[in-house]
Amino acid sequence: MNRYAAKGLLWIILAIPGILMAWGLSQGDVLAMDLLHPSGEMSIRLMIFAMLAGPLSEFFGVGRFFRARLAIRRNLGVAAFGYAILHLAFYFLDMHDVAAVWDELSIAGIWTGWLALIPMIPPASISFDNAMRKLGRKWKLIQRLVYAALIVSLVHWLLLDWDWWPAFIHLAPLMIAWSLRWLGPRRKASLSRSL
């Protein structure tokens, strides 16, 4: 399979949950409010999935599997942003009008959601080859904003659901991967800087 076909297939797979959500809504099977949770969760899952590639490949070494994971990492990040926007769109559909959205802005569970969106914008907007080439080392630094986005997203989730197990379960793989990175042999330190 050539590179473009593989990338096209990846994006079809990434888009399927979103298409199913939009289809369910258009058919009246679900309400916009029912889709807030799945779309937000999907965004967080993709963010975590993208963030796992770095530390895991550092620990296990960059084999064929992790080379592929690293190669699609940028796509996963953009898809996470896409689902965050979809989440926002469902929120607007649920609220009906802008005044109602504005009225809710002071609630902690809501403004944390808006706040989580802000650090996602710069990494997503520079996720193309030209920007990578132009920004050089700065590109990697900007991508690290995803850490802030993830933490604020999880706080947003907790403040709405007051149930910390789902958020913890999502964070657990990342915690394990980070622990492995810290426990990992020092000789890989030079490699880690490049990933």
Partner 1 sequence: MDKKKYRLALTAIAGAMFLTAAPASADGNVQCKSGPAKNWKPIAKMKKKVWLEGWELLKLQVEGDCYEVYARNESGQSIEAFFHPVTLEKLVVYRRGSEIYRSSNFPK
The contact set with partner 1 (CB under 8 A) reads 31, 33-34, 94-95, 100, 103-104, 107-110, 151, 154-155, 158-164, 167-168, 171, 175, 178, 182
Compute the half-sphere exposure of residue 161: CA atoms within 13 Å on the CB side of its CA: 17
Q: Which CB sits closer to partner 1, 68 or 163?
A: 163
Q: Which CB sits closer to partner 1, 54 or 82?
A: 54
Q: Which CB sits closer to partner 1, 134 or 163?
A: 163
Phi, psi (deg, nearest 5) at residue 10: -60, -45
CB of 176: closest distance to partner 1 in angstroms? 12
CB of 1: closest distance to partner 1 in angstroms? 39
**Could you tell me which of 112, 89, 78 has the C-alpha nearest to residue 35?**
89
CB of 65: closest distance to partner 1 in angstroms? 26
Report d(CA 71, CA 171) in Å as an integer: 22
Report d(CA 4, CA 161) in Å as an integer: 40
